[in-house]
Homo-oligomer: A and B are copies of this chain.
Amino acid sequence: MAAPLANNHISVDCVVLGFDGESLNVLLSKRSGCDSNGKVFMDYKLPGSLIYQDEDLDDAASRVLKELTGVSDVTLTQFKAFGSKDRTSNLRDVHWLEKEQAKVKRIVTIAYFSLVKLDKTLEKTVNTEVAEWQRLNQLGRLAFDHNLIIAEALKAIRREADNNRALIFNLLPKKFTASQFRMLMEIIYDKQLDVRNFHKKISQLSYIIPLDERQQGVAHRAARYYRFDKKAYSGSR
């Protein structure tokens, strides 16, 4: 065979998306470094890092996410590997890598996504010294090919959600209104949905349970809350 022994580096990167009832947000790591002129800069990257020698990919993803952001106990789903040879060749990125670890030629990264409720409980677990939620539709240029990785994550999530609608409910609070749910679907599928048809749809889904509880103190008719019934969902497919 005699293939040259490739000695590459492997990392994992996590695209953690959170919905706050209004918009989709992504969890980013703060990164600071020097550019080629020695100027200090601060920008953002996905939480990700090299894996250990003897560690499952999935375990590495959980570990790295926890270490870099404080977030733990979320379901991470592998969706794609990124191994273009120029993905780490931007000068700023090269400098940053050299500061962080030995000279690295190229890093193949295995990307994971996770969908979470962006509520106050979760807000607290995020270490804001080093990590930050940013609106998905207002992202600047991220490190490496991380903008691309996020775009691919969204595609993967759409595909996945088509086969397993339960996925989406990870983004919603336990009690959610029909319009929160609808807005979320509109964002994910980038498509307007008819309000009446949407109500009709959810009313005939056995796993979306209307509650007696309603919104409080809003300056308009109070919306009903619903909840997602995991058991009923599993039973219905």
Contacts and interface: CB of A to CB of B under 8 A. Distances in A.
A218 interface: no
Contact of A84 (B6, B50, B56, B101): B56
Interface in A44-89: 49-58, 60, 78, 80-85
Interface in A175-227: none
Contacts of A101: 1, 3, 5
A9 interface: yes
A67 to B, nearest CB: 8
A110 B82 CA distance: 10
A1 B99 CA distance: 10
A108 B7 CA distance: 12
Contacts of A110: 81, 83, 108
B56 A83 contact: yes
Contacts of A98: none
B5 A8 contact: no
A159 interface: yes
A50 to B, nearest CB: 5
A208 to B, nearest CB: 24
A7 B159 contact: no
A194 B127 CA distance: 57
Contacts of A40: none
7 closest residue pairs by CB, A with B: A57-B83, A81-B81, A81-B110, A6-B50, A8-B10, A6-B51, A3-B49
Interface of A: 1, 3-10, 49-58, 60, 78, 80-85, 100-102, 105-106, 108, 110, 159, 162-163
23 contacts: A1-B49, A3-B49, A3-B52, A4-B50, A5-B101, A5-B102, A6-B9, A6-B10, A6-B51, A6-B55, A7-B53, A8-B8, A8-B9, A8-B10, A51-B83, A54-B105, A56-B83, A56-B85, A57-B82, A60-B83, A83-B110, A108-B108, A159-B163
